[in-house]
Chain A
Amino acid sequence: MKNDIIIAGVGGQGILSIAAIIATAAVNNNLYIKQSEVHGMSQRGGEVQSHLRISSSPIASDLIPTGAADMIISLEPMEALRYIPWLKPDGWIITNTEPFLNIPNYPPIEDVLAEIKKRPHHIMMNADEVARELGSEKAANMVILGAATRCLDIPYEEIEKAIRNFFGRKGEEIVKMNLSALAKGREMALL
């Protein structure tokens, strides 16, 4: 079993939480992981990405080779496209459709979404809106993670467990909110 995943977004959107949760679930499932992330400039509105590799056998490179990623999980539509060279031809794009507008020259959003739709396998949803309806916009990343569980080779319950673990310190309410965001994202990914 092998999942090579690029997680993308903009600084502050919570991509590293997604990475940490999948990684924890994988390790609890006795899988090997390597997760590389970009630090530094990321907190100031720049692009952020993480390479997450999960495998039942030892992993060599911290970086995913181009053309080899099984999926791109993105919290922002344009950021999903930035890492297309890494995606293998039958790979999945699972992305939020809500643009993060902190630059003056953001391309027309319809064009961005059309570009994503050109790929054979994609799951798209407005995760910000879904999370807002559930009561916390911050949980948009868990909505997208929920959608991505459709493509991950890790049992859904393990992801749930990892979320409980990850948000446990923040109290039961926060845990529940994130679990319902996860469930909603998963549910919507089927529609």
Chain B
Amino acid sequence: MQKLVLLGDEAIGQAAIDAGLSAIYAYPGTPSTEINEYVMASKEAKEGRIIASWTVNEKTAVESALGMSYSGKRSMACMKHVGLNVAADPFINSAITGVNGGMIVVSADDPSMHSSQNEQDSRFYGNFAMLPILEPSNQQEAYDMIHYGFDLSEKFHVPVLFRITTRLAHSRSGIERKAVRTQNPISLPENLKQFILLPAIARKRYQVLLSIQDALEEESENSGNNVYIDGSDKSLGIITTGLAYNYLMENFPDRTVPHPVLKITQYPLPRKMLQKIVSECKEILVIEEGMPVVEETLKGILDHGIKIKGRLDGSLPRSGELNPNLVAVALGKPMIKGDDVPSLIVGRPPSLCEGCPHTDSYFALNEAMAEYGKGRVFSDIGCYTLAALPPLEAINSCVDMGASIPMARGAADAGLLPAVAVIGDSTFTHSGMTGLLDAVIANSPITVMILDNSTTGMTGGQPSAATGRLKQICLGLGVEENHIRILKPLRKQHTENVRAIKEELSYQGVSVIIPTRECIQTLNRRMREKFKNKKTE
């Protein structure tokens, strides 16, 4: 069969289609976005009537997937690692309800924070929820393990967490496909009370979850996803998780490691395999991408006399993405490097696109705020966060999606006035609406700017759930109509815009300003497509 060359993300999308997926729900977030985009663009998925949908946030994605699974069908929810924080409630509770159709939650971690606020490790969530975790080491395994993951989910009737990291998500390689499986028919769960987590039922369901833990571990020992590769030099045993295995192998050009190696791609951890490598080897080196999850587990808080090297003892850096060179050093090999970067090289920080509507919104805001001084603008996550950098330097916070409005409210409560929140349209529907309702109920004297560029710009221009609805939403949440101001963020409207913002800054209640102009990138894309369609007509 001709090999398909796919990104790790795309391999997951293709695998899900081939494994009988009925629906995928996702909120965009680097490095997970391409999974859903791939299914959305797939002809096969269309022919199979697979639902591929952007949801308003990650929580509704997991909940929608759970509803699909309740109905007997295979479903998937995809997000970036911080998305799993947002979806933590349904995720943890779906372990208690269990599932009917196979369900996989994909969480894409971003060690080194290439495009994220932190580098949290999703495996903690998997362990927390007591669910099986799959962590493929390469694109082919990602493809194969999605098939396996759905079977695993249906065998044990629990969701499966699928953990990937940036480098696998955004790296391409050849994939061999498996046979296509048909979708599940619709069916109700065997026990119609299973999904009702009233305390009396939840207690029983929790016992069920506890009772399968040994079997899940047994599965990890025997599935073939965790592999013990023997080596004659037992002075060191090496444990790798996920794609760290590749960095180990890169250091042995003939692909044979003299030491025993335990390659882990499935959790709960295979205790017997761990016992074997620990008892046979003098020292253990743990190589894992992300946080030292396995290393800490092995170490425990008491000293068992096992010598364990890894991120905690400094053999590998405590934070950041791994690479073959860091692993070489941990193996005691020399660090090979070309010349140093010449000193004249400077950074090229990202900036708002030429003609971006956000620039004009911030010009107006900066001028309106000038008389109050700096330090009063709470913002959020999106392209508009780039206003933190020169030349705009317009904002003072970016914490988690939706935080801007409640933070402004809190600051206003403290007496820091005026307090301004600046939030993107997609971020607003993701998790800004609840904060705005709080502010309305408290009649907080804050000014909220919702930057409506009709898209989710930062992640590549996916549709925004807010488009065409913002004013209605704000009205519905109780913002007074005469304090909802729609502006056109254009250079020539500048004076007018500054005046409008100043008026609302002096209003002692919630006002919402909505600068509305389409993102230049999506506008150009739309125009190109229009032109193309015209040509083919």
Chain A residues, CB < 8 A from B374: none
Which of A33, A66, A87, A107 makes the CB contact (< 8 A) with B325?
A66
In the complex, whether A91 has a CB less than 8 A from a CB of chain B is yes
In the complex, whether B324 has a CB less than 8 A from a CB of chain A is yes
> A69 → chain B, closest Cβ, in Å?
8
Contact of A60 with B250 at beta-carbon distance under 8 Å, contacts A27-B3, A34-B172, A46-B349 already known = yes
In the complex, whether A47 has a CB less than 8 A from a CB of chain B is yes
Binds A, one of B179-187, B336-344, B497-505: B336-344
Contact of A84 with B250 at beta-carbon distance under 8 Å, contacts A33-B173, A62-B243, A107-B344 already known = no
In the complex, whether A106 has a CB less than 8 A from a CB of chain B is yes
Q: Which of A56-79 contact B (CB under 8 A)?
A: 58-63, 65-69, 78-79
Interchain CA distance A158-B347 in the complex, whole Å:
36
Contact of A87 with B338 at beta-carbon distance under 8 Å, contacts A33-B5, A41-B115 already known = yes
Interchain CA distance A38-B461 in the complex, whole Å:
17
Q: Looking across the interface, which residue of chain B has its beta carbon closest to that of A66?
A: B337
- Quick one: CB contact mask for B250-277 with A, threshold 8 Å, 1 for yes? 1000010000000000000000000000
Chain B residues, CB < 8 A from A40: 30-31, 114-115
> B39 → chain A, closest Cβ, in Å?
18
Which of B31, B335, B340, B386 makes the CB contact (< 8 A) with A44?
B386
> B326 → chain A, closest Cβ, in Å?
10
Which of B33, B171, B338, B346 makes the CB contact (< 8 A) with A86?
B338
Would you call A82 and B341 a contact (CB within 8 A)? Answer: yes
Chain A residues, CB < 8 A from B324: 60-61, 63, 65
Chain B residues, CB < 8 A from A69: 338
In the complex, whether B215 has a CB less than 8 A from a CB of chain A is no
Would you call A111 and B338 a contact (CB within 8 A)? Answer: no
- Quick one: CB contact mask for B343-354 with A, threshold 8 Å, 1 for yes? 011111111110
Interchain CA distance A102-B351 in the complex, whole Å:
9
Would you call A35 and B172 a contact (CB within 8 A)? Answer: yes
Count of chain B residues with Cβ under 8 Å from any Cβ of A? 47
Which of A34, A41, A103, A111 makes the CB contact (< 8 A) with B171?
A34
Q: Looking across the interface, which residue of chain A has its beta carbon closest to that of B461?
A: A43
Chain B residues, CB < 8 A from A88: 338
Which of A39, A44, A111, A115 makes the CB contact (< 8 A) with B350?
A44
Would you call B174 and A44 a contact (CB within 8 A)? Answer: no
Interchain CA distance A111-B346 in the complex, whole Å:
13
Which of A43, A85, A102 makes the CB contact (< 8 A) with B340?
A85
Chain B residues, CB < 8 A from A91: 338
Interchain CA distance A62-B314 in the complex, whole Å:
24
Q: Looking across the interface, which residue of chain A has its beta carbon closest to that of B34?
A: A39
Interchain CA distance A63-B246 in the complex, whole Å:
9
In the complex, whether A14 has a CB less than 8 A from a CB of chain B is no
Would you call B173 and A46 a contact (CB within 8 A)? Answer: no
In the complex, whether B460 has a CB less than 8 A from a CB of chain A is yes
Interchain CA distance A79-B153 in the complex, whole Å:
46
Chain B residues, CB < 8 A from A46: 348-350
Would you call A67 and B336 a contact (CB within 8 A)? Answer: yes
Chain A residues, CB < 8 A from B340: 84-85
> B440 → chain A, closest Cβ, in Å?
34
Would you call A85 and B172 a contact (CB within 8 A)? Answer: no
In the complex, whether A96 has a CB less than 8 A from a CB of chain B is no
Would you call B255 and A112 a contact (CB within 8 A)? Answer: no
Interchain CA distance A10-B33 in the complex, whole Å:
22
Contact of A62 with B168 at beta-carbon distance under 8 Å, contacts A44-B386, A84-B338 already known = yes
Interchain CA distance A46-B31 in the complex, whole Å:
17
Would you call B346 and A37 a contact (CB within 8 A)? Answer: no
Interchain CA distance A23-B172 in the complex, whole Å:
9
Would you call B353 and A44 a contact (CB within 8 A)? Answer: yes
In the complex, whether B473 has a CB less than 8 A from a CB of chain A is no
Interchain CA distance A188-B350 in the complex, whole Å:
33
Chain A residues, CB < 8 A from B335: 66
Interchain CA distance A15-B69 in the complex, whole Å:
41
Which of A61, A63, A81, A106 makes the CB contact (< 8 A) with B341?
A81
In the complex, whether B475 has a CB less than 8 A from a CB of chain A is no
Which of A43, A68, A82, A86 makes the CB contact (< 8 A) with B345?
A82
Chain B residues, CB < 8 A from A79: 348
Q: Which of B129-170 contact A (CB under 8 A)?
A: 167-168, 170
Chain B residues, CB < 8 A from A61: 246-247, 249-250, 323-324
In the complex, whether B328 has a CB less than 8 A from a CB of chain A is yes
In the complex, whether B88 has a CB less than 8 A from a CB of chain A is no
Contact of A47 with B348 at beta-carbon distance under 8 Å, contacts A81-B342, A85-B338 already known = yes
Q: Which of B517-537 contact A (CB under 8 A)?
A: 521
Which of B173, B174, B250, B344 makes the CB contact (< 8 A) with A65?
B250
Q: Looking across the interface, which residue of chain B has its beta carbon closest to that of A12?
A: B353
> A152 → chain B, closest Cβ, in Å?
17
Would you call A87 and B167 a contact (CB within 8 A)? Answer: no
Chain A residues, CB < 8 A from B339: 84-85, 87
Chain A residues, CB < 8 A from B337: 66-67, 85
Contact of A45 with B174 at beta-carbon distance under 8 Å, contacts A106-B346, A112-B344, A115-B344 already known = no
Would you call A37 and B353 a contact (CB within 8 A)? Answer: no
Contact of A36 with B341 at beta-carbon distance under 8 Å, contacts A41-B350, A43-B521, A103-B348 already known = no
Chain A residues, CB < 8 A from B342: 81, 84, 115
> A165 → chain B, closest Cβ, in Å?
12
In the complex, whether A24 has a CB less than 8 A from a CB of chain B is yes
Would you call A62 and B114 a contact (CB within 8 A)? Answer: no
Chain A residues, CB < 8 A from B368: none
Chain A residues, CB < 8 A from B350: 11, 41-42, 44-46
Chain B residues, CB < 8 A from A23: 5, 172
In the complex, whether B87 has a CB less than 8 A from a CB of chain A is no
Would you call B338 and A67 a contact (CB within 8 A)? Answer: yes
Would you call A89 and B521 a contact (CB within 8 A)? Answer: no
Interchain CA distance A87-B342 in the complex, whole Å:
13
In the complex, whether B417 has a CB less than 8 A from a CB of chain A is no
B residues lining the A interface (CB < 8 Å):
3, 5, 30-31, 33-34, 114-115, 167-168, 170-174, 243, 246-247, 249-250, 255, 323-325, 328, 335-342, 344-353, 383, 386, 460, 521
- The 7 tightest CB contacts between A and B, nearest first, are A40-B115, A36-B171, A46-B350, A60-B249, A61-B250, A67-B336, A62-B171
Between-chain CB contacts (< 8 Å), 11 pairs: A34-B173, A35-B172, A36-B167, A60-B246, A62-B171, A63-B247, A65-B323, A65-B324, A65-B325, A65-B336, A69-B338
Additional pairs, 14, CB under 8 Å, beyond known A27-B174, A38-B114, A45-B353: A36-B172, A38-B170, A39-B170, A43-B460, A60-B247, A60-B250, A61-B323, A65-B323, A78-B345, A81-B342, A85-B339, A87-B339, A89-B338, A103-B349
